[in-house]
Amino acid sequence: MNEPVKNSERLNKYLDDEAFSRFNQLLLDKVGLNFSDLRRGELESAIMQAFASSTFSRLDDYYTTLEEETDGGVELERLINFATINETHFFRDAGQFDALATHILPELIKRRQSMRTLRLWSAGCASGEEPYSLAILLHELLPKLDDWSITILATDVNTNALDRARKAVYNSWSFREDKSRPFRDKYFTPVGNSWEVKPEIRRMVTFTRMNLAIPNYPTYETNTTFMDLIVCRNVLIYLGERVIRDVINRFFECLQPGGWVVVAPAEGSPELFKQFKSYSFPTTILYQRLTQTALLRQKSLRQRTTGGLPPLSHSATSASPTTPVRSMRPALLDRQPPLPDLSPAEEQNFLAQAQEYVSYGLAGKALEILQKLVNAKQNRDKVFALIGQIYANRGDWDQAENWCAQAIHQNRLSLDAYYTLSLVLQHKGQWEYAIEAMRKVVYIDHTDVLGHFGLANLYFENDKLPKAIKSLDNALHLLDHRSPDELVPRSGGVTVSRLREAITRQQQQWNGLVADQAFVT
């Protein structure tokens, strides 16, 4: 077995051109994601966060593992989750929802009146605000909703986002669209400073993981056949040119004749949607699938008059409506004024909001809150541990270690601080201290799956194979009787089923090493 790497690699703030190109091509090949130069900062941030959350100490080793994994691999899934954080809100793009409410949905309802069935698909649903918005519109438009068979399929490749969508609890940031506020009191229940979607709306939506780049639709198995409406907004800009064409062609096959596709304004083009008829509304353009007769007539006319259309230009697929600004290193926390004297409940609400911002990838907004909670009366250890996690996600190992140590000083049983500290120490090549920190995690909570899994990898890296296998067995045992779709805490959105698969593969490999060693002996 090779000696473990002791000189751990620290990520620079930005990747060099070669590393950016390698990771970008890998994501394009694996899952169809493509990051143009305008979105380079997004990919760099995602890689830094996923690498910091892994048990690898060298970026090359991390990349090699990503190369070997297929869709569903733990490290690849974690990177996908960090790379596809799509921040959204209820009734986003009021113009498109106005078109849906006043024209598209009423037209579909009239057409389906005799069958009383409607099938809608939110493809790339992120944290769920979009499909719940569709459900609210149908609730408004159909006074006898119970007489209808309604399907609202909501899919996304990001398991973290799907978990938030299933929980259906949102803060005020999700209601920043003026159109959404009148519905908040009617369809949501207050929960502290947040709002929970009422059961009658939640029941209308089915969430499932789906990668649009994989050609497994339309099929009955994926529930993507005979759709009346597909809403896929701010998704195509993340895909490569060939993948975009394939996705749109598959959408055409998923729709019933007369069905509609809604994409973000920056994602549409006449050439891309040549199989559809475009309709202009006051602030948007939407696309309707032609009937087979109309499609054949259009194709014949095009061939006679133009001899075909030119290939899609590069700018039509890679241009982004906005240019991301690279984030700056945050100001020192002790320079920020603390919040006024707060009650414990108010402190808890601010901390919960900061945690939610971190889960959305909005670390800057989280730090704005945490900077003012450093003198909190309660949960101070959680504040420090979350700051440590943010710095670790940015690859600033020294700052991360410092804040985790302060969290542990506040609370000797701060599990989150010990877990982040162990990952930080791994990245710094301090293996024995990393093992000790991870052992504290499983001491504090012997049911912590990631603690046992992380300890297994640490033991393996330090040639302690029997202990590694035992820790791996412990992790697998703890996954028994858990729901396959349940997210593993602190995993970056990895589900129980995918972690179980990864552990099983690892068991087979390590047990093979034990057999080889026995044979040599």
| Owning domain of residue 231 | 94-289
Burial of residue 425, with CB atoms counted within 10 A of its CB: 0-12 exposed, 13-18 middle, 19 or more buried: buried
What pLDDT does 14 receive?
Answer: 57
Q: Are residues 191 and 129 in the same domain?
A: yes
Which CATH number does the domain housing residue 274 bear? 3.40.50.150
- Cα separation, 475 vs 482, whole angstroms: 12
Length of the chain, in residues:
521
- Cα separation, 232 vs 464, whole angstroms: 49
Question: Which tens digit of pLDDT belongs to each residue from 261-306?
Answer: 999 888 888 888 988 999 988 888 899 997 655 555 555 444 444 3
Contact 135, 168 (CB under 8 A): no
In a domain, 274, yes or no: yes
For 431, residues 6+ apart whose C-beta sits below 8 A from its C-beta are 4, 6, 425, 458, 461, 462
In the chain, pLDDT over 70 holds for what percent of residues? 86
For 281, residues 6+ apart whose C-beta sits below 8 A from its C-beta are 95, 96, 98, 99, 103
Token reading at 269: 């083009």
Buried b (16+ CB within 10 A) or exposed e, 190-199: eeeebbebbe
Q: Are residues 73 and 103 in the same domain?
A: no
| Cross-strand bridge partners of residue 255 | 227
Last residue of a domain, one of 83, 103, 136: 83
Q: Which residue has the higher pLDDT, 154 or 517?
A: 154
Q: What is the DSSP string of 441-508?
A: HHHH-TT-HHHHHHHHHHHHHTT-HHHHHHHHHHHHHHHTTS-TTPBPTTSSS-BHHHHHHHHHHHHH
Contact 51, 62 (CB under 8 A): yes
Question: Which tens digit of pLDDT belongs to each residue from 448-499?
Answer: 999 999 999 899 888 898 899 999 999 999 999 888 888 888 787 788 888 8
Q: Are residues 424 and 511 in the same domain?
A: yes
Is residue 326 scored above 80 in pLDDT? no
- Cα separation, 428 vs 9, whole angstroms: 7
Q: Are residues 387 and 498 in the same domain?
A: yes
In a domain, 362, yes or no: yes
Q: Are residues 54 and 109 in the same domain?
A: no
What pLDDT does 126 receive?
Answer: 93
- Cα separation, 122 vs 509, whole angstroms: 40
- Cα separation, 225 vs 493, whole angstroms: 28
In a domain, 273, yes or no: yes
CB atoms within 10 A of CB 508: 9
Cis ω before 182 (30° cut-off from 0): no
Q: Count structural domains, the chain.
A: 3
Q: Are residues 444 and 386 in the same domain?
A: yes
What pLDDT does 416 receive?
Answer: 94
Last residue of a domain, one of 271, 289, 307: 289
* 264 closest CA partner among 205, 317, 204: 317
- Cα separation, 395 vs 227, whole angstroms: 44
In a domain, 301, yes or no: no
- Cα separation, 318 vs 46, whole angstroms: 19
Largest CA distance in the chain: 78
When the pLDDT of each residue in the chain is averaged and rounded to a whole number, the result is 83
Burial of residue 279, with CB atoms counted within 10 A of its CB: 0-12 exposed, 13-18 middle, 19 or more buried: middle
Q: Are residues 63 and 119 in the same domain?
A: no
Angle, alpha carbons 30-33-35 (nearest 5°): 130
Which CATH number does the domain housing residue 431 bear? 1.25.40.10
Question: Which tens digit of pLDDT belongs to each residue from 218-233?
Answer: 988 888 988 999 999 9
In a domain, 6, yes or no: no
355: confidence class by pLDDT, cuts 50, 70, 90: confident
Q: Are residues 224 and 359 in the same domain?
A: no
CB atoms within 10 A of CB 140: 14
Last residue of a domain, one of 46, 61, 83: 83
Q: What is the mean pLDDT of residues 84-90?
A: 84
- Residue 192 vs residues 328, 349, 352, 354: alpha-carbon distances, Å: 33, 8, 10, 15
What's the pTM value of the predicted model, to 2 decimals?
0.70
| Backbone angle region of 192, left / alpha / beta, with phi > 0 → left and psi within -120 to 50 → alpha | left
- Cα separation, 303 vs 86, whole angstroms: 40
In a domain, 323, yes or no: no
Q: Are residues 135 and 78 in the same domain?
A: no
- Cα separation, 113 vs 407, whole angstroms: 60
Q: Are residues 354 and 416 in the same domain?
A: yes
Q: Are residues 46 and 183 in the same domain?
A: no
Token reading at 457: 């990898």
Q: Are residues 37 and 110 in the same domain?
A: no
* 9 closest CA partner among 50, 43, 51, 53: 51
Indicate the SS3 state at residue 262: strand
In a domain, 203, yes or no: yes
What pLDDT does 51 receive?
Answer: 92
- Residue 297 vs residues 2, 243, 256, 293, 304: alpha-carbon distances, Å: 66, 27, 18, 6, 11
CB atoms within 10 A of CB 35: 22
521: confidence class by pLDDT, cuts 50, 70, 90: very low
In a domain, 305, yes or no: no
